[in-house]
Amino acid sequence: MAITSTIRPCCSHLLLSQIFPKYPYHFSKSRKYPNRYEVVAQAASTAQPLHPTLDPVPSTGLPTPILLHGLKPLEISPLLPFPEKSRTVDPVHHEPTPRTETVAEREAWKLLNRAVVNYCGKPVGTVAAADAGAFKGELLNYDQVFIRDFMPSALAFLLKGDTEIVRNFLLHTLQLQSWEKTVDCHSPGQGLMPASFKVRAAPIDGNASGEEEVLDPDFGESAIGRVAPVDSGLWWIILLRAYGKITGDFSLLERVDVQTGIKLILKLCLSDGFDMFPTLLVTDGSCMIDRRMGIHGHPLEIQSLFYSALRCAREMLTFNGGSADLIRAIKNRLSALSFHIREYYWVDLQKLNEIYRYKTEEYSQNATNKFNIYPEQIPDWLVDWIPNRGGYLIGNVQPAHMDFRFFSLGNLWAIVSSLTTPKQAEGILSLIEEKWDDLIGTMPLKISYPALESDEWRIITGSDPKNTPWSYHNGGSWPTLLWQFTLACIKMGRPDLAQRAISTAEKRLLDDNWPEYYDTPTSRFVGKQSRLYQTWTIAGFLTSKLLLEKPELASILTFEEDNELLEGCACRLSHNGRTRCSRQTAKSQLLGKRA
């Protein structure tokens, strides 16, 4: 097992260090891929120059939106520095009046700042957990900066007006992107982003006594299960857009290395394979649920993040001859993906009844039961559980297989990115409201529902002692999901629901020292192996509070319905002779039909 992607940062600067703040540690003669300098140099020579001198940041700091396809900065002034005491508007005098931070907020900010990781004297991320006393000091990899875990930290900092750490994070993780790595003689795709990285001290070459800091990434080669983190690159793209929108610093987005980074991630995701579906095919555990949980194939979480990242990338890619094909491919994939998810992942009472009456073994292009689902797959729990009103996107759809479990992150992110129809989005929130005790209970939010038990647990998790029923990924409750819930509620005009969930969590999180997760069907216990002082629990809470206070800033992450994408899919279906191609068809097909 070898990985050669450590970055040594604090060394002399080459010409290209103007593009990359730092350069990589190892240069191997036998490497399979061109290194990042070569990739970028190549891109720079074929693309229209963005900035003729390749100067990384034009000093004006003014946004230059003409180069980007569709990204717009926020219309409101985004970065009014938040004072120590946040502000609310006094309804009588219309004057901002200071709102005193709660005890939990004060404590959370203290802990979040303490979790910051520095590299060469600059903040670059936050550790996953700062629980020194945990499990006899056994840190596993909780002392690392995880890409996905940093999302709520990044947002808390951005919403508070502190942008430097996010910018540093984006650029340093970019350097780590799939850098000449091999795992047991195999090289994963070049655009892969690491799951996490660590700052460690390493001896300086030729100086026996000296040490310097290096960045050490983990692409899954050390992670339990050795799974590649497919979600990392998607989160990176989503964060890049959020950073661009809130700061207006489009110069960062237009940099050749950043544009190349986006394209490498997209290349991995959009490459042709054996797939019949527009959904992204991945192995088990390639996202937040990073252990075996029966989510291989086309899990919802990855599809929602994929859709969101594609929409972000479409806005951020710069205009030049080379990007036209890519932008077309993105648009086609977006149309097909939303059609597929809206049509085949959605269940409500009516759809369930349809599945219940499915005929099987239909051989034809016009089959109703396209994936040959046997109605016996409808689990007993769902028959009673599905409410009369509302519905949700199921966890996975594959040939002869529907995973009917409810996965929170995928459903919430489908709302945020407009992967669902507006009506479906409303339906998901109303299901959550209806099933509040099951999904939120005494601690928001269940990661998945219900738990796998008995034989299912043995077969599907491989008897995983950490994922026992109603624990950890298997029906545990993860307070970090609060910020994604808040975001979805704001998007759908239901901040009251988010407020209710936050109030449930606030005091308990503080009293319990910010656990990573809770166990039992009603989340009554702190999780069996849960870390305390888990950073994304802390940051998720703060981000939720900040978003509720400035709901207009939610738009740095959300997307509205895009009729052009709807038309794209309806038109292509019409070419199969099935429907007429028009804006009206698109709407009725994807908005009106079922939900």
Q: Report the amino acid identity of residue 199.
A: V
Count of residues that interact with ligand GLC, criterion CB under 6 A: 6
Per CB under 6 A, 539 contacts ligand GLC: no
Q: Which is nearer to ligand GLC, 128 or 497 (CB)?
A: 128
For 128, residues 6+ apart whose C-beta sits below 8 A from its C-beta are: 141, 142, 143, 144, 145, 146, 149, 196, 531, 534, 535, 536
Per CB under 6 A, 288 contacts ligand GLC: yes
H-only helix segments in 248-299: 250-254, 256-270
Per CB under 6 A, 254 contacts ligand GLC: no
By rule CB under 6 A, what string of x and - marks binding of each residue 84-123 to ligand GLC?
----------------------------------------
Where do we find the tokens 């508070």?
Answer: 160
Report the site for ligand GLC in 321-380 (rule: CB under 6 A). none
Per CB under 6 A, 227 contacts ligand GLC: no
Q: What is the DSSP string of 72-122?
A: ---SS-TTPPPPSSEEEE-TTT--EEEEPPPHHHHHHHHHHHHTEEEETTE
Q: Which is nearer to ligand GLC, 149 or 464 (CB)?
A: 149
Q: Which is nearer to ligand GLC, 517 or 559 (CB)?
A: 517
Q: Kind of pairing, strands 2-3 and 401-407?
A: unpaired
Three-state DSSP at 35 gives: coil
For 283, residues 6+ apart whose C-beta sits below 8 A from its C-beta are: 227, 228, 296
Of 43-51, 143-151, 414-422, 547-555, the window that binds ligand GLC (rule: CB under 6 A) is 143-151
Per CB under 6 A, 301 contacts ligand GLC: no
Q: Kind of pairing, strands 207-218 and 196-204?
A: antiparallel
Residue 310 phi, psi (nearest 5):
-65, -40
Report the site for ligand GLC in 145-174 (rule: CB under 6 A). 146, 148-149
| C-alpha R_g of the chain | 24
Q: Which is nearer to ligand GLC, 128 or 432 (CB)?
A: 128
Q: Which residue is nearest to ligand GLC (CB)?
A: 128
| b/e map 86-125, b = 16+ CB within 10 Å | beeeeeeeeeeeeeebeebbebbbebbeebbbebeeebbb
Please state the closest distance from residue 389 (CB atom) to ligand GLC, in A.
Answer: 32
Per CB under 6 A, 290 contacts ligand GLC: yes
Please state the closest distance from residue 149 (CB atom) to ligand GLC, in A.
Answer: 5
Please state the closest distance from residue 431 (CB atom) to ligand GLC, in A.
Answer: 24
Q: Which is nearer to ligand GLC, 431 or 538 (CB)?
A: 538
Among 128, 214, 258, 386, binds ligand GLC (CB under 6 A): 128
Per CB under 6 A, 538 contacts ligand GLC: no
Please state the closest distance from residue 148 (CB atom) to ligand GLC, in A.
Answer: 5
Cβ–Cβ < 8 Å for 160, 82: yes
Per CB under 6 A, 131 contacts ligand GLC: no
Summarize as ranges the residues that interact with ligand GLC (CB under 6 A): 128, 146, 148-149, 288, 290
